[in-house]
């Protein structure tokens, strides 16, 4: 039996986080203790809104970068569900 009995859209979890990079040529953070964890979102659209807002707040810092991680793909790599 499916857990999705109320016909609600399936959760496709996405994590939004960022931090200041050591340089612009690769993704390596200056200080992992200072990562900015924005939050977990139920779908890509909501995660993208949060990512965009965070990126716009830090637009003056070229080394500050935010990312969207498709957590649902890590939880269920067999299906590789996409947004």
* Domain annotation for the chain: domains and CATH numbers: 10-22+34-83 (3.30.70.2400)
pLDDT of residue 83: 47
Q: Over 70: is that where the pLDDT of 79 sits?
A: no
Q: Over 60: is that where the pLDDT of 51 sits?
A: yes
Give residue-wise pLDDT tens across range 21-34: 998 889 999 999 99
pLDDT of residue 55: 96
| Integer CA distances (angstroms), 71 to 25, 35, 44, 57, 78, in order | 25, 17, 10, 24, 13
pLDDT of residue 59: 92
Q: Over 50: is that where the pLDDT of 20 sits?
A: yes
Phi, psi of 9 (to 5 degrees): -60, 145
Which candidate, 32, 74, 71, 68, places its Cα nearest to that of 50?
Answer: 68
Name the pLDDT band for 80 (thresholds 50, 70, 90): low
């Amino acid at each position: 039996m499916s857990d999705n009995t109320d016909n609600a859209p399936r959760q496709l979890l996405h994590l939004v986080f960022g931090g200041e990079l050591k340089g612009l040529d690769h993704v390596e953070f200056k200080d992992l203790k200072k990562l900015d964890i924005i939050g977990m979102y139920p779908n890509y659209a909501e995660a993208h809104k949060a990512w965009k807002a965070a990126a716009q707040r830090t637009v003056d810092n070229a080394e500050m970068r935010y990312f969207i991680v498709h957590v649902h793909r890590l939880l269920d790599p067999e299906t590789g569900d996409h947004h």
